[in-house]
Amino acid sequence: MSPAEALRAERAERAEGAERRPGPLWSLGLLRSELLTTFRRWRTLALLTVLAAVPVLIGIAVKLETDDGSSAGGGGEGPAFISQITNNGLFLVFTALAATLPFFLPMAIGVIAGDAVAGEASSGTLRYLLVAPAGRTRLLLTKYATVLAFCLVATLVVAVSALAVGALLFPLGELTTISGTRIGLAEGLARALLIALVVAASLIGVAALGLFVSTLTNSGIAAMATTVGLLITVQILDQIPQLDAVQPYFFSHYWLSFADLMRDPVYYEDLVRNLGLQAAYAVVFGSAAWARFTAKDITA
């Protein structure tokens, strides 16, 4: 159709007085637009690039160290996957996820979530989305869904990059679980995928927190900085022994429980606690974000 024909069609539509009823799937159109917009931002791509680079660096470091002749010593912190990398490249996936989960991954989520509403407010595009009218609840849900999609993509980027580097630099094969039993490569890959999903789910809480912060201000930068600041603060407080009474309520407290998926049989208690805690954060901060956003004066 040419523009002129489109205009004629428009007029015809208007003449019939036909207002299109929104189909049940129109929210998906908005979600698609939101995903496209988010993943076409230079900032998003830069964050994903950094995340993809982490496993490369770890892999090269381990390779160089072992080529020196000395065997890679088991690190004291976190699950001791790193010592196994030289035997099986699949362990680079676990190591990379364990290395990025405490800071790189949630920081990336904090940036995307913090910017979600506040960034649109500061650029003024929020007011045009709302008069379109996107609907405040729908827009917020779309934003949250997009941040969650980013959690998944970011985690998978780390995992896939780690798998590629691991397969390239080290042998792949049967692997030994933390419990000492041996499992085949196929099951190892399945567990790696499961772990990636659990790691992505561990970020649900930060995502909700970031989105809430994002509704509080009209400055994208301020929202990002606040979210990342909160993240660092919580991570530090989680290390202070005197605070052990409140630590189980920190969103990051059970993050490293994903390692329990490498036990045989799998130890579920902390995994479930982690997922429950993430759900609680999503409900609490999601509601807070909704209450704030639906009542907010859009003056930017």
Partner 1 sequence: MGEPPATEPVRPDRPDQPDRPDRPDQLKRQDRPEREEREPAGDAVIVTRGLTKRYRGGQLAVDGLDLTVPAGSVFGFLGPNGSGKTTTIRMLMGLIEPTSGTAHVLGRPMPHAARAVLPRVGALIEGPALYGFLSGRDNLLRYDAADPAADPRTRRVRVAAALDRVGLTAAAGKKAKAYSLGMKQRLGLAAALLRPRRLLVLDEPTNGLDPQGMREIRTLVRELASDGTTVFLSSHLLDEIEQVCTHAAVMARGRLIRQGAVADLAAGTRGRLVVTTPDPQEAARVLKERGVGDVVVAEDRVTGEPPDGEIADLNRALVAEGVRVRGFGRERPSLEDAFVALTGEGFDVAG
State in angstroms the smallest separation of the CB of 74 from partner 1.
Answer: 45
Q: Is 75 helix (H, G, I), strand (E, B) or coil?
A: coil
Query: Can you tell me the distance from the alpha carbon of 261 to that of 53, in angstroms, rounded to the nearest whole number?
Result: 25
* Torsion (CA) 246, 289, 281, 220 in degrees, nearest 10: -80
Least Cβ distance, residue 17 to partner 1 (angstroms): 6
Task: Pick the closest to residue 105 from 221, 202, 250 (CA basis).
Answer: 202
Residue choice 46, 57, 73, 128 for contact with partner 1 (CB under 8 A): 128
Q: Could you say which residues in the range 32-61 bind partner 1, by CB under 8 A? A: 32-33, 36-37, 40-42
| Token pair for 71 | 């065997």
Among 105, 117, 129, 206, binds partner 1 (CB under 8 A): 129
The yes or no reply on residue 295 touching partner 1 (CB under 8 A) is: yes
Q: Of the ranges 3-11, 189-197, 219-227, 275-283, which one interacts with partner 1 (CB under 8 A)? A: 3-11
Element (H, E) at 134: none
The full DSSP string for 183-213 is: E-HHHHHHHHHHHHHHHHHHTHHHHHHHHHH
Closest approach, Cβ 139 to partner 1, in A, equals: 8
Nearer to partner 1, 47 or 159 (CB): 47
Residue 73 in contact with partner 1, rule: CB under 8 A: no
* Cβ count near 24 (within 10 Å): 7
Residues that bind partner 1 (CB under 8 A): 1, 3-7, 9-11, 13-14, 17, 19-22, 26, 29-30, 32-33, 36-37, 40-42, 123-125, 127-135, 138-139, 295, 297-299
